[in-house]
């Protein structure tokens, strides 16, 4: 592995953590930082990452950033600006994003445009993340121990009380009365969250199959008493939890499933889901696989400034992008997915 010139595009929850990781690694040279917020423009990248100044100032000048000719852009906005990414790729710059894109099966027009731009520029595009992304690959990888597989299921159960982003939860319907306890998600009309449907295709690809259809369901859990989290309140009877199920079908049955349980209480929800916190992989096969993977704060608090699970999962999201950079830079031009990457750990992270 050589050295890689990197631009960090956006410095929000994920971008800030990716920026910190880039500055940690000797293999990367940070050559630019894009900031959306006017109050971040002109600030030193080190300060934005929570460390000492390094002499690279954040800017909103797109031309200037592209002009630095980086090997790779880590693109971490909330929504992907496909026209911008098209331009970056056509200029021969690789792009790794944690946006709502994994395989592109539910972004067909965008994927085709990205493929064309990447080929034209001799660059590579990868959509990745933690979930969707890393954990889904892990669930598919575990099926490699099986002679026969009937189904693969990943259940994510998270205490979301430590993610104080009111706007995100309001958009999802939290703290509001539930018109219906169970609603259908149609991937053909959904605007956001399509990456979750694409996790089904990702695991299907790992099994060597093509799914015949997909279905999404959202089940609401209602608060059984008033809840006050300090940063948000949930009146009794309003939505304080969701179980979002994404199901892939073949031969008339579910063969791949992703179930996401987001909760705002451990004892005041109806229904109260009882899955273990973390990520549970259930593979019905020969042999059956039943694994619980939990992520949390290190025992040595000096290892991390983040001490809650939600923040640490953002670290995992950022690292999925950062660790992919060398492989993306070495990949042939075009659009690739996380399962096109070689098996790798997190190089350069071991503390001496």
Locate the domains of the chain by residue range.
Answer: 4-128+324-340, 134-306
Instruction: Please check whether residue 156 is in contact with residue 279, taking contact to mean a CB–CB distance below 8 angstroms.
Output: yes
Q: 149-174: per-residue pLDDT in tens?
A: 999 999 999 999 989 989 989 999 99
Q: Which CATH class is domain 4-128+324-340?
A: alpha beta
Q: 258-293: per-residue pLDDT in tens?
A: 999 999 999 999 999 988 899 999 999 999 999 999
- The rounded distance, in Å, linking the Cα atoms of 104 and 339 is 13
Q: 85-139: per-residue pLDDT in tens?
A: 999 999 999 999 999 999 999 999 999 999 999 999 999 999 999 999 999 999 9
Confidence of residue 1 (pLDDT cuts 50, 70, 90): low
Q: 10-29: per-residue pLDDT in tens?
A: 999 999 999 999 999 999 99
Q: 57-78: per-residue pLDDT in tens?
A: 999 999 999 999 999 999 999 8
């Amino acid at each position: 592995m050589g050295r890689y010139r990197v631009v960090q595009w956006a410095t929000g929850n994920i971008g800030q953590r990716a920026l910190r990781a880039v500055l940690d690694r000797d293999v990367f040279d940070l050559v630019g930082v894009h900031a959306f917020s006017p109050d971040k423009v002109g600030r030193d990248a080190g300060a934005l990452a929570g460390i000492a100044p390094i002499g690279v100032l954040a800017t909103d000048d797109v031309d200037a950033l592209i002009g630095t000719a980086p090997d790779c852009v880590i693109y971490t906005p909330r929504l992907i600006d496909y026209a911008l990414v098209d331009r970056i790729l056509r200029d021969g710059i690789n792009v790794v994003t944690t946006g709502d894109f994994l395989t592109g099966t539910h972004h067909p027009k965008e994927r085709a445009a990205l493929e064309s731009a990447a080929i034209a520029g001799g660059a590579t595009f990868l959509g990745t993340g933690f979930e969707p992304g890393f954990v889904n690959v892990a669930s598919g990888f575990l099926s490699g121990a099986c002679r026969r597989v009937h189904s693969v299921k990943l259940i994510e159960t998270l205490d979301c009380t430590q993610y104080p982003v009111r706007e995100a939860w309001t958009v999802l319907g939290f703290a509001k009365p539930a018109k219906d306890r169970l609603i259908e998600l149609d991937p053909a009309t959904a605007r956001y969250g399509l990456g979750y449907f694409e996790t089904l295709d990702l695991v299907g690809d790992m099994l060597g199959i093509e799914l015949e259809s997909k279905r999404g369901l959202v089940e609401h859990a209602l608060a059984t008493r008033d809840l006050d989290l300090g940063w948000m309140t949930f009146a009794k009877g309003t939505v304080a939890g969701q179980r979002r199920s994404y199901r892939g079908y073949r031969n008339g049955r579910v063969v791949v499933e992703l179930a996401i349980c987001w909760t705002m209480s451990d004892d005041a929800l109806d229904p109260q889901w009882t899955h273990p916190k973390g990520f549970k992989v259930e593979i019905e096969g020969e042999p059956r696989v039943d694994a619980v993977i939990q992520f949390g704060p290190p025992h040595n608090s000096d290892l991390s400034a983040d001490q809650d699970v939600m923040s640490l999962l953002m670290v995992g999201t950022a690292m999925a992008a950062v660790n992919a950079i060398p492989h993306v830079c070495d990949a042939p031009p075009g659009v690739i997915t996380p399962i096109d990457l070689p098996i790798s750990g997190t190089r350069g992270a071991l503390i001496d």
